[in-house]
Structure 1
Amino acid sequence: MTRIAFIGLGNMGGGMAANLVKAGYEVAAFDLSEAALAKAEEAGCVRAPSASAAATGASAIVTMLPAGKHVEMVYSGEIFDVASPGTLFLDCSTIDVATARKVIAAATEKGFEMVDAPVSGGIAAAAAGTLTFMVGGTAEAFERAKPILSAMGKAVIHAGDAGNGQAAKICNNMLLGATMAATCETFAMAQKLGLDPQTFYDISSVSSGQSWSMTSYCPVPGVGPKTPADNDYQGGFAVALMLKDLKLATQAAQTVDASVPMGNTAEALYQILASAGEGGRDFSVIIEMLRGK
């Protein structure tokens, strides 16, 4: 049985590790949270006392960590020193492009293959194994990573060279943040103009204003398919996480002199929302702020 180390068992990582177990892999799991470790054990993972212990003897190592500094610290401080020759590294965290490329370059220099493979889909998709992976790295590393990623997702797409997975993720989420803000302000205005939300949805969802934010993730309770809006904006994709991705996107834009006025505006709006204490609610809750609540 192939042994995989999984480091980082948060809301996303826990479900992902469980799906690797379901796919027949032996998973050595580590997290700083005792509760996360206990949950991973219940899902069939083998508890490891440290990241280095999890990585020792593994043929592949998957990391799902909060930020670039954590990724660099875990690989440079622990994994590189204990990984066996030929071990494949898969970082599924959402981090800045520069750090992703730096860590992959360091891994390559030490003779390892590594991909950056951030995800799209949220907590429910992580649990269901229906994530989308955007993968950066060499063609050879991608082919090695694909079976492992496929055990956790419905789509595994090679985005190009090292760091391009992160580039695709932050560009996608900048687009999502901007379109959700636009969708919310439009619903708020339509209602003030006397349009019933369901009627506006019925019209716009089959017209040129249609978007995923409207038809798959409608921010208005009781309209369209069931979304976090129907649960007081609990669950889903947290405001704080959207803000993190928007900051990564606008920072990346500065490094390549890209003009992103809509991305900048979305970041500013979500910063206001997070500063108002709404960081833990779903990002579609921005409709309440735009309604003046």
Structure 2
Amino acid sequence: MTRIAFLGLGHMGLPMAANLVKAGHEVHGYDLVPAAVEAARTVGIPIADSGADAVADAEVVITMFPAGRHVIAAYQDELLAAARPGTLFIESSTIAVDEARTAHRLAVDAGHRNIDAPVSGGVVGAEAGTLAFMVGGSDEDFEAARPLLEVMGRRIVHCGGPGLGQAAKVCNNMILGISQIAVAEAFVLAERLGLEHQAMYDVVSQASGQCWALTTNCPVPGPVPTSPANRDYQPGFAGALMAKDLGLALQAIEQTGTDARMGRLAQQIYAAFADGEGAGRDFSGIITSIRSLP
């Protein structure tokens, strides 16, 4: 049994923490949102009075925050000072590569260990314990974290040194954002050509256009009963989060001077979607914006 502090108990963090509890670990949580706190208590996770209280006796600290600035501020303001020397910090938020490296440096300078371990798989994967973890950090720290990651995920990949888990995540989500737009555009084109959704799905899901954005996150109701399209695009993974992740991709594109025109265009499309109807809808709901275009 490992004593774990889990900070950030939202749509992703709570089921991840709950799976750790089910596996027999001692988990203490913290979140600023009252609804998240109440939800955590209903699954048997005790809530600390502060982040510092949560980490004080922990062997491992897992953070799942909205953005890199929250991670760095929490590390600097209270978490690193309150934790016992040598605590392993697992940073599972999706943040910029340079922010992950800053967090790593802060943790190490304070006498702790740190890996970046962002996830893929959405809420469904978090609930089922089938997430993919992309990990950046030392071999030793990766092996120390692996047993806990394997409780929460099915695919655990050590991508290299500090920040390279986030590098893998930003590249993965750029592919995902682009492919979700492509699938949505293809379904709208099929509609206007008179092709029924099920026929379109039956062909493409077994052809060269097959992809996760189609077979798991199908943007039209019907063909994939578990897709967000069948629950009025309730996330899932919200359009605002995809816009944020593509913003991180754009930042990396510009920093590296990469010619990534599709990535830039996807970022623009999702930024507009998030500024309008897509902020609280699943990112597959981008199809509604595409339909509205002449």
**Normalized against structure 2, the TM-score is what?**
0.96
Contact map agreement 1:250 1:263 (CA 8 A) in 2: yes
**Which position in structure 2 is the counterpart of 1:189?**
189
**How far has the Cα of 1:16 moved from its partner?**
1.1
Distance, in Å, in 2 between the alignment partners of 1:212 and 1:169 is 16
Contact map agreement 2:81 2:110 (CA 8 A) in 1: no
**Which position in structure 2 is the counterpart of 1:206?**
206
Distance, in Å, in 2 between the alignment partners of 1:33 and 1:82 is 21
Distance, in Å, in 1 between the alignment partners of 2:123 and 2:104 is 26
Is residue 6 from structure 1 mapped to residue 1 from structure 2 by the alignment? no
Please list the CA deviations of residues 93-113 of structure 1 after superposition, one character each: whole Å capped at 9, or x if unmatched. 111110100110122223321
Please list the CA deviations of residues 264-286 of structure 1 after superposition, one character each: whole Å capped at 9, or x if unmatched. 11111112212223211111111
Distance, in Å, in 2 between the alignment partners of 1:86 and 1:273 is 43
Structure 1 counterpart of 2:232, which letter? D
**Which position in structure 2 is the counterpart of 1:240?**
240
Distance, in Å, in 2 between the alignment partners of 1:224 and 1:64 is 29
Is residue 100 from structure 1 mapped to residue 100 from structure 2 by the alignment? yes
Contact map agreement 1:218 1:225 (CA 8 A) in 2: no
Please list the CA deviations of residues 210-241 of structure 1 after superposition, one character each: whole Å capped at 9, or x if unmatched. 22211222111112453111111112111001
Distance, in Å, in 2 between the alignment partners of 1:82 and 1:288 is 47
**Which position in structure 1 is the counterpart of 2:288?**
288
Structure 2 counterpart of 1:214, which letter? L
**Which position in structure 2 is the counterpart of 1:152?**
152
Counterparts of residues 81-92 of structure 1 (less than 5 Å): 81-92=81-92
Is residue 58 from structure 1 mapped to residue 58 from structure 2 by the alignment? yes
Is residue 170 from structure 1 mapped to residue 170 from structure 2 by the alignment? yes
Structure 1 counterpart of 2:226, which letter? K
Counterparts of residues 131-146 of structure 1 (less than 5 Å): 131-146=131-146
Name the SS for the 1:159 alignment partner: strand
**Which position in structure 2 is the counterpart of 1:73?**
73
Structure 1 counterpart of 2:255, which letter? T
Distance, in Å, in 2 between the alignment partners of 1:105 and 1:128 is 33
**How far has the Cα of 1:2 moved from its partner?**
2.3
Q: Greater CA deviation, 160-169 or 76-85? A: 76-85
**Which position in structure 2 is the counterpart of 1:18?**
18
Structure 2 counterpart of 1:208, which letter? S
Distance, in Å, in 2 between the alignment partners of 1:48 and 1:140 is 29
Distance, in Å, in 1 between the alignment partners of 2:57 and 2:240 is 36
**Which position in structure 2 is the counterpart of 1:259?**
259
Please list the CA deviations of residues 36-91 of structure 1 after superposition, one character each: whole Å capped at 9, or x if unmatched. 12221222222200001011011111111111111001111112112112211101
**Normalized against structure 1, the TM-score is what?**
0.96
Name the SS for the 1:277 alignment partner: coil
**Structure 1 consecutive aligned stretches of length 4 or more whose deviation exceeds 6 Å:** none
**Which position in structure 2 is the counterpart of 1:48?**
48
Name the SS for the 1:156 alignment partner: strand
**Which position in structure 2 is the counterpart of 1:180?**
180
Q: Unaligned regions of 5+ residues in structure 2, if any? A: none
**Which position in structure 2 is the counterpart of 1:112?**
112
Report % sequence identity: 50
**How far has the Cα of 1:128 moved from its partner?**
2.1
Q: Over the residues paired in the alignment, what is the CA RMSD in angstroms?
A: 1.4
Structure 1 counterpart of 2:218, which letter? C
Q: Greater CA deviation, 194-203 or 84-93? A: 194-203
Name the SS for the 2:234 alignment partner: coil
Please list the CA deviations of residues 178-208 of structure 1 after superposition, one character each: whole Å capped at 9, or x if unmatched. 0010111111112212222222222222222
Distance, in Å, in 1 between the alignment partners of 2:213 and 2:207 is 14
**How far has the Cα of 1:157 moved from its partner?**
1.1
Contact map agreement 1:2 1:59 (CA 8 A) in 2: yes
Structure 1 counterpart of 2:185, which letter? E
